[in-house]
Amino acid sequence: MAFKASRDIQIHLVTDGANTKGWIHTHGLEKFGVPDLEIREIPLFLGPYACLLLNEFAEYLVDNFERKPVIPGQTIQMGPCVFTVEECPILPEDEGDGHYTVRRFRLVDSAKMIGRCHAHQKSARTTH
Ligand SMILES: [Zn+2]
């Protein structure tokens, strides 16, 4: 049976409560030979979209990692989302909570996207 992220892995969204941002991450990708994934500091209302993105990227990794591995530092585009993949640092405060026992990639803002916003550029054009 082909890998299907929504069935084969778990995704957790962790928050410290109201007015905090979310930490969304996968569990179970190591069974498929690829690193687990995480995104930090997402607004909670974007959690469902972050979950869809992690599912989509997880499926891409499982399907392609052997012949075309993703390398930390690489910029990836999945649909409208562009992000850079980082090797997850293991911070002392995170050790022992069970989340960093396997390799993990973090999806972060891509430097290529900073300062690039089509909606803003469009409205800027109409107001000038
Ligand atoms: Zn977890």
In b/e form, how buried is each residue of 25-58, taking b as 16+ CB within 10 angstroms?
bbeebeebebbbbbbeebeeeebeebbbbbbebb
The alpha carbon of 27 and the centre of ligand 1 are apart by a number of angstroms equal to: 6
The alpha carbon of 51 and the centre of ligand 1 are apart by a number of angstroms equal to: 13
Average pLDDT over residues 1-29: 88
What confidence category does residue 56 fall into, taking pLDDT thresholds of 50, 70 and 90?
A: very high
pLDDT digits (tens, 9 = 90+) for 70-114: 999 999 999 889 999 999 877 776 666 777 788 999 999 998 766
CB-based contacts of 59, cutoff 8 Å, min separation 6: 3, 4, 5
Q: How many CB atoms lie within 10 A of CB 18?
A: 6
CA distance 31 to 9: 9
The alpha carbon of 97 and the centre of ligand 1 are apart by a number of angstroms equal to: 9
What confidence category does residue 127 fall into, taking pLDDT thresholds of 50, 70 and 90?
A: very low
The alpha carbon of 26 and the centre of ligand 1 are apart by a number of angstroms equal to: 7
Q: Which residue in the block uniquely carries the two structure tokens 């993105």?
A: 53
The alpha carbon of 110 and the centre of ligand 1 are apart by a number of angstroms equal to: 25
The pLDDT of residue 118 is 59
The alpha carbon of 37 and the centre of ligand 1 are apart by a number of angstroms equal to: 11
The alpha carbon of 126 and the centre of ligand 1 are apart by a number of angstroms equal to: 45
CA distance 39 to 51: 9
The alpha carbon of 54 and the centre of ligand 1 are apart by a number of angstroms equal to: 14
